[in-house]
Structure 1
Amino acid sequence: MDPTARLRMNRTALFPVALLALCVVPLAFAAPWTPVLLLVPVVVAIWVLRTGVDITAEGLTVQALVGRRTVPWTEVAGIRVAPRGELWLVTTAGTELRLPVMRARDLPRLAQLSGGRLEVPAPPVRPKPAQ
Structure 2
Amino acid sequence: MPSRRAPAESTVKPAVIRMSPMAHFASGFLALGLLVMITMFPTWGAVCMVLPILASYAIVRLRTVAGRDTVTARTLLGSRTVSWTEVDGLRFDRSSWARAQLRDGSDMLLPAVTFSMLPLLAEASGGRVPNPYK
Tell me the TM-score normalized by structure 1: 0.78
Distance in 1 (alpha carbons) for counterparts of 2:94 and 2:36: 41
| Higher helix content, 1 or 2 | 2
Structure-1 residue corresponding to 2:35 = 25
Count of aligned positions: 123
Q: For the Cα contact (< 8 Å) 2:118–2:132, is it kept in 1? A: no
Whichever residue aligns with residue 124 of structure 2, its letter is L
Residue of structure 1 in register with 2:17 after alignment: 7
CA-CA distance at 1:101 after TM superposition? 0.9
Root mean square deviation of aligned Cα? 2.4
**Following TM superposition, by how much is the alpha carbon of 1:78 offset from its aligned partner in structure 2, in angstroms?**
2.0
Matched to 1:101, the amino acid is A
**Quick one: distance in 1 between partners of 2:44 and 2:122?**
49
**Secondary structure of the structure 1 residue equivalent to 2:68:** coil
User: Which of 59, 64, 76 does residue 70 from structure 2 map onto?
Assistant: 59
Does 1:96 find its partner at 2:102? Answer: no
Corresponding letter in the other structure for 1:13 = A
Change (3 A) 1:23 1:45: same
Between the aligned partners of 2:69 and 2:93, the Cα distance in structure 1 is 25
Which letter does structure 2 place at the counterpart of 1:37? C
Whole-Å separation in 2 of the counterparts to 1:66 and 1:121: 32
Contact 1:3 1:115 in 2 (8 A): no
How big is the shift at 1:95?
A: 1.4
TM-score by length of 2: 0.76
The residue type equivalent to 1:6 in the other structure is: V
Equivalent residue runs for 1:48-127 within 5 Å: 48-82=59-93, 86-121=97-132
Q: 1:122/1:15 Cα in 2 relative to 1: closer, same or farther (>3 Å)? A: closer
